[in-house]
Structures are given as C-alpha cells and as structure tokens.
C-alpha cells in the first residue's frame, strides 16, 4: 500500500514531470485506470513541454485504440509544426512510444533533424530513424553525439543508446571506457553507465547517489532483473521522490499476482 500510495499520489502532481513519471510506472504495472484518473482532466492542456508528457501518458493509458491514436496525433502535430516551442519534446515522445513515421512530410523532417549537427535533439531524430530501419551509419551518428561538448546532448545520446539493445560489442566496449572516465558528478555519467551494459547498471544501483540509484532501479526492473530495495531507506519520507517512485515500481513489479488479484 505504501508503494502504491507513493505512485498514485505523485501522479496527481499537476504540472510536474514527476507526475508523468509516476503515471508511466502505473501503466507498466497494469494500473492504467489510476493514471487516467490523474491525466484525463489534463487532456486539453496546452502548456508547451508539459502537454507532450500529458498526451504521452494518455496515449499509453487509454484503453480504446482510437483514443490512443488521437493523443499520438496531437504529439505528432507538434513535431510537424516548425514554430512549436516543444518540438524536441514531441520528437522524443514519439520515439519513446515507438510511433512509426507515417504523416506526410514527417520523414523529411526527421531526416533533416537527424542530419543537423547543431540540432540539440538530434539523438531523438536518429532514434526514430533507427526504429524504422537500423543501420550501422545511424548508430555511428549516435555514438558521435557523445563527442559533443554539450552535456545535455551527450546525456540524450547516452539515454538513447541505453534503450537500444543489443548494441554491438565494440560500441559497448567504448561506452564502458567512456563511463569509466566520466566524472561521477556529471549529469551524463548515469546514462553512460546504463548504456554500457547490465553489469555497469547493477553497480550503479548500489550507488549512494539517490538519483543514480533511481535510474538504475528503473532500468533493471524494466529489464526483469533482480534488484535490491531497502524500504526503510528507499521509501523513507526524506528520500528523493525519484528514488521513492523507482523503488515502489521495483517492489510492486515483484508481486504481479497480488497486483492482478487486487484489480
């Protein structure tokens, strides 16, 4: 009950990305109705950036295919609008949702963004092209993003590489080297560690850094790997919300039968 309460209550944090993350944990736990209770009232949200997260939740949680498609099209419409402030967020969410490239002109836009060395969301454009047709050239472009001096761009590239599995052994070896040389306080470090493979992710899960541990717990749980959670520490009121959410998700995923019975 403690775990479920953490996720349900934080999913109602309107305007906060922590609420979106909580809702997506609930969806993975087959608790979509609880996510819908928090996000259906926000369906008409037009606040740039945050609206993309709202529609992403609804695209996953709505039971009817036509409703899922409606929210996907809302996100896609932002990508197709070259004046939208949250175009990058739309590109990222379409990749996270594994949405195929279908709309007229969409492929041209994604290819142009993937080819643009200056575009801050280039990794997400490359990711969408890889989902459509993975090639060694696209993977090389993604690896090249790790060479930029912009830490946010490097973080995005590392995140995408962490979602793309299996990676060629040579690329994974490079990622292990990069992870080993990355400063622990760098915002890129935990994403590089996750991209470097399960061994590095498991070590990250033992980190004293709560943010790093939360990321590792989430990834390992999604992969179906065993994780160690200390409820007294990870669910404590003074623990960061991201850690409490990830720990709650990990603990609830260990008990699918009880969750199913409760529904």
The pLDDT tens digits of the residues spanning 137-159 come to: 999 999 999 999 999 999 999 99
The pLDDT assigned to 263 comes to: 37
Mean pLDDT for the stretch of residues 59-88: 98
Does this model's pTM top 0.75? My answer is: yes
Asked if the model's pLDDT at residue 74 lies above 60, the reply is yes
Mean pLDDT for the stretch of residues 159-166: 95
**What does the radius of gyration of the chain's CA atoms come to, in whole angstroms?**
18
Q: Which comes out higher in pLDDT, residue 50 or 165? A: 50
The pLDDT assigned to 260 comes to: 41
Asked if the model's pLDDT at residue 106 lies above 60, the reply is yes
The pLDDT assigned to 235 comes to: 97
pLDDT classification of 258: cutoffs 50, 70, 90? very low
Mean pLDDT for the stretch of residues 13-20: 97
Taking a C-beta distance cutoff of 8 angstroms, is the pair 171, 143 a contact? yes
Mean pLDDT for the stretch of residues 44-69: 98
**Beta carbons within 8 Å of 122's beta carbon, 6+ residues apart:** 113, 114, 116, 141, 145, 153
Q: Is 219 helix (H, G, I), strand (E, B) or coil?
A: helix
The span from the CA of 132 to the CA of 124, in Å, is 13
The pLDDT assigned to 256 comes to: 54
Mean pLDDT for the stretch of residues 172-188: 96
Asked if the model's pLDDT at residue 262 lies above 50, the reply is no
Q: Which residue reads 């306080």 in tokens?
A: 185
The span from the CA of 69 to the CA of 105, in Å, is 19
DSSP string, 29-40: TT-HHHHHHHHG
Q: Where are the beta strands (DSSP E) in the chain?
A: none
The span from the CA of 199 to the CA of 40, in Å, is 39
CB atoms within 10 A of CB 2: 10
Q: Is 137 helix (H, G, I), strand (E, B) or coil?
A: helix
CB atoms within 10 A of CB 143: 18
Asked if the model's pLDDT at residue 133 lies above 50, the reply is yes
The pLDDT assigned to 255 comes to: 73
199-253 pLDDT per residue, tens: 999 999 999 999 999 999 999 999 999 899 999 999 999 999 999 999 999 999 9
**Beta carbons within 8 Å of 218's beta carbon, 6+ residues apart:** 246, 249, 250
Share of the chain above pLDDT 90, in %: 95
CB atoms within 10 A of CB 230: 9
Q: Which residue reads 């949405």 in tokens?
A: 99
């Amino acid at each position: 009950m403690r775990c479920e309460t953490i996720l349900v209550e934080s999913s109602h944090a309107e305007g906060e990305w922590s609420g979106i993350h909580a809702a997506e944990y609930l969806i993975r736990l087959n608790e979509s109705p609880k996510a819908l209770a928090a996000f259906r009232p926000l369906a008409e949200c037009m606040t740039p950036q945050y609206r993309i997260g709202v529609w992403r939740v609804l695209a996953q949680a709505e039971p009817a295919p036509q409703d899922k498609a409606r929210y996907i099209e809302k996100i896609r419409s932002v990508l197709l609008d070259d004046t939208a402030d949250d175009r990058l967020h739309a590109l990222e969410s379409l990749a996270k949702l594994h949405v195929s490239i279908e709309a007229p002109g969409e492929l041209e836009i994604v290819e142009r963004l993937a080819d643009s060395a200056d575009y801050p969301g280039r990794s997400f454009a490359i990711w969408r092209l890889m989902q459509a047709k993975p090639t060694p050239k696209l993977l090389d472009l993604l690896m090249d993003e790790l060479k930029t001096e912009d830490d946010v761009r490097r973080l995005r590239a590392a995140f995408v590489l962490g979602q793309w599995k299996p990676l060629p052994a040579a690329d994974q070896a490079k990622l292990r080297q990069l992870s080993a040389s990355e400063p622990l306080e760098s915002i890129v470090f935990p994403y590089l560690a996750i991209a470097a493979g399960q061994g590095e992710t498991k070590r990250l899960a033992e980190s004293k850094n709560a943010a790093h541990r939360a990321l590792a717990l989430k990834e390992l749980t999604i992969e179906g790997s065993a994780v160690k959670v200390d409820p007294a520490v990870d669910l404590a009121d003074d623990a960061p919300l991201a850690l409490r959410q990830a720990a709650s998700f990990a603990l609830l995923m260990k008990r699918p039968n009880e969750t199913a019975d409760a529904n």
